Structure 1
Amino acid sequence: MKTVGIVPNHDKEAAMNFVGELVSFLKEKDCNVALTYKIAEITGFEELGVTKYELYSKSDFIIVLGGDGTLLDTGRKAAKYGTPLLGINMGTLGFLASADVSEVRETIERVLDGDYKLEKRLMLEAEIVSETDSPKKYNAVNDVCITRGVFTKITGYSIYVNDEYLATFRADGVIISTPTGSTAYNLSAGGPVLKPDIGCMAITPICAHSLHSRSIVISADDTVRIEADFGSNGDVIMSMDGQTSVILNNGDTINVRKSANSMNIIKTNIRSFYEILRKKLISKGE
């Protein structure tokens, strides 16, 4: 008997309301269902409540109800356990989702029958090396962004790849993106779209004060070092997937490299990356 976790976007009423229907369907399929204690209490399924550790580590797979943001947040938490994620789009874009709500039953049946493909998405590890504190590490699925604060003047970002100096951008910030994240902030900043199964990263300046600053694509096996020169001008912030952030101290060095973990996404349809790209991004602008 499989154990299936459910992680809804608790800020979306539609996602929370759909939990009950999903629980009933999974029980019909002889599955154990797991919810965090908080979600179990809100939805009235207290008997299904488990700790977050149990949800992420003991589930055979996790159904994520929401948009790409919910899937990214769940992906970072589940990555170290290798738990596969099945994204059900209840947001606006749903670029990472495996199916829409109308396809839920058919999609879950295919997963339970073993009729699916598992995509391992490259993740990033960002390490802050401080002059005054021990190193701190953070994980990201889409991107690591180093950006100036609201009232901070334009900042210089010196970029090194494998300890070799590459360039200095005077810009609002710099994005280190995975192929998965290439269609997110990286794309908005003028960076390239990267196919998810390519082993690479993109370095993209944000609003660079230059006529010649362009994105640079490097190997996923490279290590990027960023040194931000902001002095007493204000704050510089490092954010992961646009969801978690830390304020940097002057003199901090950021090392970004491929994480030892990956986000495992369940895919049940035969739509290619290019079809999804065309339908989700290209055709919307036509």
Structure 2
Amino acid sequence: MTREILLVVHTGRQHNLGMAEKVAGQLIGSGMRLRVLAGEAPDLSPECYTEVVAPSSKAAEGTELVLVLGGDGTLLRAAELARVAGVPVFGVNLGRVGFLAGADFDALDEAVDAVIEGRYHVEERMTVDVTAWLDSRVLARTWALNEASVEKSSRERILDVVVEVDGHPVSAFGCDGVLCSTPTGSTAYAFSAGGPVIWPEVRALLVVPSNAHALFSRPLVVSQDSLLALEIDAQGHDAVLCCDGQRHFDLPAGARVEVVEGETPLRLVRLYDASFTDRLVRKFELPVHGWRGPGR
């Protein structure tokens, strides 16, 4: 049976085009079929693919995985295609293979060989499903791998919100925004906003206020089964819902955003087994000198 891969490329960088040609040659040479998205095909050499597909929900259907050549934004864009198709996504980020997926190979050839030989692991990452309402009218239905954020629409204004957990109000305050994050997102935007790092195997949701004007504005970690809601003051200003920095929706005053554990997780490729602790230390270049390990 012929193996197929969807190749997604950040074609705005010349370096990525060269990488795409190199990777495609190895994969096609091994007998694989490569799909590319219609919007990217004109920038790629015809030798880089065997089929051009529309960027629809069926783009990755029937493939083994989605291979991404680009940065975090490109991976998050491709993640939607992988999630819908139920296939894993593997990212090559800024010259470092599999950054989001936890790999640490400097040699691109080694990573491609691992894909060709099937020597990779797949792990599931929790997502969130997000719904925005105004009274009984649905404004948006979407999802996020890292976080859903509700933010003020203008720099000079304050966003007034009420945070709710499982149908009970927790606190109301003025702020720049509020983030509802997954464990995966705890090392992304939520981390920058002062939230804690949550290990991926911890099934939980994270709420992080951004620059809140309140005594009680600490990050909250709640159950994966919780329903988080953010209500925008009906007498206040409009806001913006942003998911993974990719999908944006305008929210009028009085809107309500609900966040729950996603029905469909995202599957990420890892090239080797390494603990999240080790990956965290590498990602943030944390100082661990002086560590002696468990006593013998």
TM-score by length of 1: 0.91
Moved more, 255-264 or 55-64: 55-64
With over 3 angstroms needed to count, the CA separation of the structure-2 counterparts of 1:34 and 1:247, relative to structure 1, is same
Q: In the alignment, what sits opposite 1:266?
A: 269
Q: In the alignment, what sits opposite 2:54?
A: 51
Bigger helix fraction: 1
Length, aligned pairs only? 284
Cα distance between partner residues in 1 of 2:243 and 2:68: 20
Match of 2:280 among 274, 277, 280: 277
Moved more, 193-202 or 108-117: 108-117
User: In structure 1, what residue type is equivalent to 2:14?
Assistant: E
Assess if the C-alpha contact under 8 Å between 1:152 and 1:235 holds in 2. Answer: no
Could you list the per-position Cα deviations for residues 62-98 of structure 1 after superposition, in whole angstroms to 9, with x for gaps in the alignment? Answer: 1111122211121123212111111112268974145
User: In structure 2, what residue type is equivalent to 1:224?
Assistant: L
With over 3 angstroms needed to count, the CA separation of the structure-2 counterparts of 1:93 and 1:231, relative to structure 1, is farther
Which runs of 5 or more structure 2 residues have no equivalent in the other structure?
A: 290-296
Moved more, 42-51 or 168-177: 42-51
Secondary structure of 1:283 counterpart? coil
With over 3 angstroms needed to count, the CA separation of the structure-2 counterparts of 1:172 and 1:93, relative to structure 1, is farther
Moved more, 97-106 or 181-190: 97-106
Aligned pair 1:103/2:113, yes or no?
A: no
Q: In the alignment, what sits opposite 1:199?
A: 203
Q: What percent identity do the matched residue pairs reach?
A: 27
Counting only pairs closer than 5 Å after superposition, residues 135-284 of structure 1 correspond to structure 2 as: 135-229=139-233, 231-232=235-236, 234-283=237-286
Cα distance between partner residues in 2 of 1:170 and 1:92: 40
Alpha-carbon deviation of 1:209? 1.1
Match of 2:73 among 58, 66, 69: 69
Q: In the alignment, what sits opposite 2:292?
A: none
Cα distance between partner residues in 2 of 1:161 and 1:129: 16
User: In structure 2, what residue type is equivalent to 1:19?
Assistant: A
Secondary structure of 1:251 counterpart? coil
Secondary structure of 1:114 counterpart? coil
Which runs of 5 or more structure 1 residues have no equivalent in the other structure?
A: none
Secondary structure of 2:262 counterpart? strand
Alpha-carbon deviation of 1:142? 0.5
Q: In the alignment, what sits opposite 1:80?
A: 84
Q: In the alignment, what sits opposite 2:33?
A: 32
Alpha-carbon deviation of 1:173? 0.9
Assess if the C-alpha contact under 8 Å between 2:96 and 2:106 holds in 1. Answer: no
Alpha-carbon deviation of 1:51? 2.4
With over 3 angstroms needed to count, the CA separation of the structure-2 counterparts of 1:230 and 1:251, relative to structure 1, is closer
Secondary structure of 2:226 counterpart? coil
Q: In the alignment, what sits opposite 2:15?
A: 14
With over 3 angstroms needed to count, the CA separation of the structure-2 counterparts of 1:123 and 1:147, relative to structure 1, is same
TM-score by length of 2: 0.88
Alpha-carbon deviation of 1:157? 1.5
Compute the RMSD of aligned alpha carbons.
2.3
Assess if the C-alpha contact under 8 Å between 1:121 and 1:265 holds in 2. Answer: yes
Cα distance between partner residues in 1 of 2:123 and 2:61: 19
Secondary structure of 1:88 counterpart? strand
Moved more, 35-44 or 118-127: 35-44
Assess if the C-alpha contact under 8 Å between 2:232 and 2:256 holds in 1. Answer: yes
Assess if the C-alpha contact under 8 Å between 1:176 and 1:201 holds in 2. Answer: yes
Moved more, 179-188 or 82-91: 82-91
